[in-house]
A and B are shown apart, each in its own frame.
Chain A
Amino acid sequence: NAGVTQTPKFQVLKTGQSMTLQCAQDMNHEYMSWYRQDPGMGLRLIHYSVGAGITDQGEVPNGYNVSRSTTEDFPLRLLSAAPSQTSVYFCASSYARESTEAFFGQGTRLTVV
């Protein structure tokens, strides 16, 4: 069982570039979310989805887009990378909105120069 798979693990971008962070889960979970983790800030929610075709904003959505065309995949798009988006990004999934636990991917370490 792969669980939640994030790619890439590491990425360096130049300011203004765009990219997509991939997230896939094989547990048939309805609920998926993206967090960023910065030193001293903890995990902050960027966007989340309660099912295919449904997404919503979290605490820090600016500069990011998401879509959920399938249950399995929940990509996060950086539209025009900025140094402030340097962070570690985690994708998580859970069985339902009110769930027992969230399963996290291994994270993507993104540096914007």
Chain B
Amino acid sequence: SQKIEQNSEALNIQEGKTATLTCNYTNYSPAYLQWYRQDPGRGPVFLLLIRENEKEKRKERLKVTFDTTLKQSLFHITASQPADSATYLCALYYSGYSTLTFGKGTMLLVSP
């Protein structure tokens, strides 16, 4: 079965720095990969989607890369702010299936 790995340890960074979160997967590459943000006590909120034939996607301060050779996606938040503190989830979608498979998420803590 497909395995998705996100760093289980919280990532602590200072305000203004770039946060980089990692999502690794095993076996075959998904049709697309998504990143979500989840705040305590709330449901996940969609941030970005990147397809298997795309190398990079940007949205404001967010950037996602997708390397099918390394079987890895990187999620960057530039000029991070304390309001960016949350848990970030990656999710993979495979053609032929009807479901998103989520990683366990990485908590990001941005200190002032």
Q: Given A31-B98, A33-B99, A43-B89 in contact, is the A106-B104 Cβ separation under 8 Å?
A: no
- Binary B-proximity of A56-71 (CB < 8 A = 1, otherwise 0): 1010000000000000
Q: Given A43-B44, A107-B41, A107-B43 in contact, is the A102-B100 Cβ separation under 8 Å?
A: yes
Q: Do B102 and A101 have beta carbons less than 8 Å apart?
A: no
Is A13 an interface residue when CB atoms closer than 8 A count as contact?
Answer: no
Chain B positions within 8 Å of A44 at CB level: 102
Q: Do B99 and A106 have beta carbons less than 8 Å apart?
A: no
For the complex, what is the distance from the CA of A101 to the CA of B98, rounded to whole Å? 13
Q: Which A residues, 2 to 56, have Cβ-Cβ distances below 8 Å to chain B?
A: 4, 31, 33, 35, 40-45, 48, 50, 56
Is B45 an interface residue when CB atoms closer than 8 A count as contact?
Answer: yes
For the complex, what is the distance from the CA of A92 to the CA of B45, rounded to whole Å? 10
Is B95 an interface residue when CB atoms closer than 8 A count as contact?
Answer: yes
Is A105 an interface residue when CB atoms closer than 8 A count as contact?
Answer: yes
Q: Do B46 and A101 have beta carbons less than 8 Å apart?
A: yes
Q: Do B102 and A42 have beta carbons less than 8 Å apart?
A: yes
Q: Do A40 and B104 have beta carbons less than 8 Å apart?
A: yes
Chain A residue nearest to B49 (CB atoms) is A100
B102 to chain A, nearest CB (A): 4
Most buried by A among B31, B99, B101: B99
What are 28 A-to-B residue pairs whose CB atoms are below 8 Å? A33-B99, A33-B100, A35-B102, A41-B104, A42-B102, A42-B103, A43-B102, A44-B102, A48-B99, A50-B98, A56-B98, A90-B44, A92-B43, A98-B31, A98-B93, A98-B95, A101-B46, A102-B34, A102-B44, A102-B46, A102-B91, A102-B100, A103-B46, A104-B43, A104-B45, A106-B42, A106-B43, A107-B41
Question: Could you list 6 further interchain pairs (A-B, Cβ under 8 angstroms) beyond the known A102-B34, A106-B43?
Answer: A33-B99, A42-B105, A98-B93, A102-B46, A102-B100, A107-B41
